[in-house]
Structures are given as structure tokens and as C-alpha cells.
Amino acid sequence: MSSTTDDKALIERAKEDKEAFGQLYELYVDRIYNYVYYRTGNVADAEDLTAKIFVRAMKHIPRYQDQGVPFSAWLYRIAHNLVANWHRDNSRRQMVALDDITHWHVGDESPEFATQLLEDKSLLLGAIRRLPSDRQELLILKFVERLSNAEIGDIMGRSEGAIKSLYHRTLLSLREDLQERNGVSGMSATARAKMFFGRPFSRRN
């Protein structure tokens, strides 16, 4: 989904008008802060990084071009890069905020994930924290920011198909982690996939 006509007009004005950019800031700051907070787990760092993201956005907005995705995707991509740099300098810090995981919006697409979230938040959180950083980010973008696979792909620099594949592999990895830590062993990967998905690698769009 691309930016609305009103957004496009405001974006064009913001290229030359700081007041118009201030309106964009008000429209998007909460969403960007939310994303950064989940990836840092720290209010002070999230506030500092969010400020840097919008400073960078204001600097580069004159060169912004509509690529057929929401303007927010451009902001998220800036945030993605700055947070990645932050993590390189703070490699021991947790990525997922503990206290807010119950607010994730897990819908019909992943009923087993939603059930696990309700049953044992701490166990699921531990499994998420053991995932590679790109998979943690994918879950945040999907279940916190509620972005489409196409939007997530634009932010993470991958195709929509690659995001779908990464998503399914991520859910499978989580389920295997949880099963192993609950003492379920000796089961084939296919059987474990069926337990989690109902069938392995659902092709639902």
C-alpha cells in the first residue's frame, strides 16, 4: 500500500518546509519510537535513537522518492539501519522488551503462536531472544507494527517472498526450541512442523 494523496502532498512540502516536516514527525513519531523501543528495550536509548532517526530523515527527505510503499517504510528503513549500528556497539543488550510482549497483535495467521504467548510469556520470550537479530526484527515488524510482508521486505532489504520464507522458518525454529526445552525429542522436523502449523509451511498470503 502506497502513501495516501494527502501524505504525498505533505511529504513534498516537507522537502522545503520544516513546519511541514514537523507535521510528518507528529504523524509517525509514536510508531517509530515503538519499533525502536522493542528493539532496544530501553526508554532512554529509544528516545535518543528516535530523535536521531528524524534528524536523519529531515536531512535526507529532499532526496526522498515514492517507491510505491508507505512513507513509514522509508522511516523504518532509516530506523533499521540506526538500530543495527546501535546493536553493533551494544552487542550484549537484549533486543526484545520483556514487559510489552503481551501487547503483540497475533491474529488468525498464527493461532499456535498466540496460544503459546498466552500460556507462557517468559518461555516464548526466551525462545525469541535466542533467535538471530533479523528474525527478532521480523516478528516485531509483523506482530507489533503489523506491517505487510512487502513492507517488511522493503525495510529489511529483502523480497516479499524471502520475508514469507523467513517468517515460516522463524515460527518453525521457535516451535522446535520450545519443544526441546519442554522435553519433546526424537520427533522428526516434519512432525514438529505439523504440531506448530497444522501443516508445514502454510502458503497463506
- CATH 1.10.1740.10 in the chain: give the residue spans: 5-89
All three cell numbers of 6, joined, read 494527502
Kindly report the average pLDDT of the chain as a whole number: 82
Of 79, 65, 80, 50, the C-alpha closest to 3 is: 65
Q: Assign domain 101-197 to a CATH class.
A: mainly alpha
Q: What is the dihedral angle through the alpha carbons of 175, 177, 178, 181, rounded to the nearest 10 degrees? A: 160
**pLDDT tens-digit profile of 129-184?**
889 889 999 999 998 888 999 999 999 999 999 999 999 999 899 888 888 877 64
125: pLDDT strictly greater than 60: yes
Please give the CATH topology (third level) of the domain spanning 5-89. Answer: Rna Polymerase Sigma Factor; Chain: A (1.10.1740)
Please state the pTM of the whole predicted model: 0.74
pLDDT at position 72: 93
Q: In the chain, list all ranges with CATH 1.10.10.10.
A: 101-197
Q: Which triple of cell numbers denotes residue 194? A: 505439523
Helices then strands, counting H and E runs in the chain, come out as 10, 0
Between 157 and 68, where is the model more confident? 157
Residues in CB range of 55: below 8 A, 6 or more apart = none
